[in-house]
Amino acid sequence: MSLFLFLILVAIVLGLVGVAAHGLFYLLIIGVAVLVADLVYAGMRLRRGGRKQRVAR
């Protein structure tokens, strides 16, 4: 969960720097890409989280 929150924070910071600094629009694009990748990662973890794997002995 901490990785998810850290990546959200990184995406927000990159987006703000990309908007605020003239000529650094690519940082905004990278921030959006990190945000989308993070949401996909969280979605995959939530989908798998409900199932418990059985351990073979």
**pLDDT value at position 27?**
79
Give the per-residue pLDDT at 2. Answer: 78
Burial (CB count within 10 angstroms: exposed 0-12, middle 13-18, buried 19+), residue 40: exposed
Per the CB < 8 A criterion, the answer to whether 17 and 27 are in contact is yes
Rg (CA), the chain: 16
What is d(CA 40, CA 34) in angstroms, rounded to the nearest whole number? 10
pLDDT in the model for residue 42: 83
Q: Are 27 and 9 in contact (CB under 8 A)?
A: no
User: What does the pLDDT read at residue 30?
Assistant: 81
Give me the pLDDT at residue 56, please: 67
- The tens place of each residue's pLDDT in the chain, 57 residues long, gives 677 788 888 888 888 888 888 778 787 788 788 888 888 888 888 776 655 666 666
